Structure 1
């Protein structure tokens, strides 16, 4: 079992090698090593170490994706098995119905899709399409992202694609540090269910909504395709890789940044601000009233 000092050294190495803003890594490294030298991490158990280091990382660099995470399930430490957390995320999505918790038809022919994770565009496409097929005949749609904690950029683009008429909408760009390249995301040309256009779309948000969920909310809002109802979101906009440090500790390193094609920026550190503010527990009722108003009911 590596010592806390070895764990911190290895995590800092990953951050230095991969963090999307390399100019910030020196300050991060110096701050954490100073605390390490002062013995602040010496007697901590694994979960406490993760909590402390994460807090100190974000004091220096307030990036909510920059973290040490404790995981209960043991993970492989073989370098050949380090796929940046992708296999674990795919397994989670399979266990969580590709992130879709429920689909309903509510009074007034208003559809509701409750999304907890943003699935990848390959494995998640059929399930996302099935959900959108079920609400295809509704007069208005509520997309509930209040408990959505993240997901895949490609999946966020697929979700957004349903709400535009064709493949001609430039959604956003992702700059990746490892390649120095910027990847464009556009609406998809082909989808497994009908597009949802010409009707009101309300997106529910909360202080829990994070990362990929924020991507969908921010993108639809910026392009004027949805009204957001609820609370300001957590504010994490940087796509992230996960690397095991021990069998139970991983370091998450943001390796890219999002650039919205409309705003030229993103929601990092600020969160996505709703159009209609409401406590999370009341957001659905507010959205339903708003949908009926938009429909003239």
Structure 2
């Protein structure tokens, strides 16, 4: 039997060639998506240079598809310095052209409902303090009832803590709906420019919502380094309009919205495709993050907010279910 390349079997050679070809096609497709959609029209050159260099070095050789996607995400974020880039291998992906819009919406809503549309915990803390642990923004259509129930639950509290320490962002429509609960009237907050079609869209809160709005009360937002994108936007806009204080860590610094693409019916690709401009500042939090009013370690943020509210209750002589000695005792325990 003839040998091929000194001991390399024909199968190994063909598999290696096919794998290399498959990788090259994926990388070329990603480069093209960046070229046509990324907010900076010249960035694709860096992406192309990165991919060509890594191919020559054999960086992607022998990686399984999941590890390949993870490494692409890391390389893109590091090289372009944009944390919104994301690549994920979808093992059992069904091409969207085989699914109707209703089927896709139903599937997405079913998945999000398993996580209660991002609302992890809603409760009343001692001192009549509302607490919402919110981890991500699903579609407003699917989330509206859960959001309304959440806001109705905290409506009678005298102050509110919104925990965004694990919030990785999500849909813009849900961000605007959530923010609508804290503005008494419609508010034009920001514009979004999309490079691929050169359109600018105005983004505003809604004048009316399904649940009870939370107005003219103290709000405290908890943040961490993991607070990202739409999660950061809540902190940014409520802080800018002096509707909330931010307690915790500086956030991730990802303001620009993304477009979703399927690459070779195998990989989900997120590309930052627009630019947000806040009307109040003519800026955004990209690469900067939201700077807390009170900077503490993320694990200490809830305790810090609770203590601050309890001390304010004493100072303002606000009536709660707790007596003054009970409030002081609770502060003492929290500070230990």
Give the TM-score taking structure 1 as reference length: 0.91
Structure 2: how far apart are the matches of 1:90 and 1:53?
A: 28
Structure 1: how far apart are the matches of 2:109 and 2:23?
A: 30
Match runs of 1:172-211 below 5 Å? 172-211=190-229
| 2:50 matches 1:34 | no
In the alignment of these two chains, the number of paired residues is 293
Aligned to 1:25: 44
In the TM superposition, residue 242 of structure 1 has moved relative to its aligned partner by: 2.2
Q: Which has the higher contact order (CA 8 A, sep 6+)?
A: 1
Contact between 1:93 and 1:117, CA under 8 Å: does it hold in 2?
no
Contact between 1:164 and 1:197, CA under 8 Å: does it hold in 2?
yes
Aligned to 1:170: 188
Higher alpha-carbon Rg: 2
Aligned to 1:47: 66
Contact between 2:77 and 2:84, CA under 8 Å: does it hold in 1?
no
| 2:283 matches 1:240 | no
Structure 2: how far apart are the matches of 1:290 and 1:205?
A: 16
Deviations 1:218-244 (A, max 9, x none): 111111111011111122212112222
Structure 1: how far apart are the matches of 2:82 and 2:100?
A: 23
Query: What SS does structure 1 have at the residue aligned with 2:192?
Result: strand
Aligned to 1:142: 161
Which ranges of 4 or more aligned residues in structure 1 deviate by more than 4 Å?
78-83, 86-89
In the TM superposition, residue 111 of structure 1 has moved relative to its aligned partner by: 0.4
CA RMSD of the aligned region, Å?
A: 2.2
Query: What SS does structure 2 have at the residue aligned with 1:133?
Result: helix
Contact between 1:235 and 1:268, CA under 8 Å: does it hold in 2?
yes
| 1:14 aligned residue (3, 8, 33) | 33
Query: What SS does structure 1 have at the residue aligned with 2:304?
Result: helix
Query: What SS does structure 1 have at the residue aligned with 2:239?
Result: helix
Aligned to 1:251: 269
In the TM superposition, residue 57 of structure 1 has moved relative to its aligned partner by: 1.7
- Note the residue ranges of structure 2 that are not aligned, 5 or more in a row: 1-17, 318-336
Moved more, 52-61 or 155-164: 52-61
- Note the residue ranges of structure 1 that are not aligned, 5 or more in a row: none
Query: What SS does structure 2 have at the residue aligned with 1:44?
Result: coil
Moved more, 21-30 or 273-282: 21-30
Structure 2: how far apart are the matches of 1:257 and 1:233?
A: 18
Higher helix share: 2
Structure 1: how far apart are the matches of 2:233 and 2:93?
A: 28
Structure 2: how far apart are the matches of 1:270 and 1:32?
A: 27
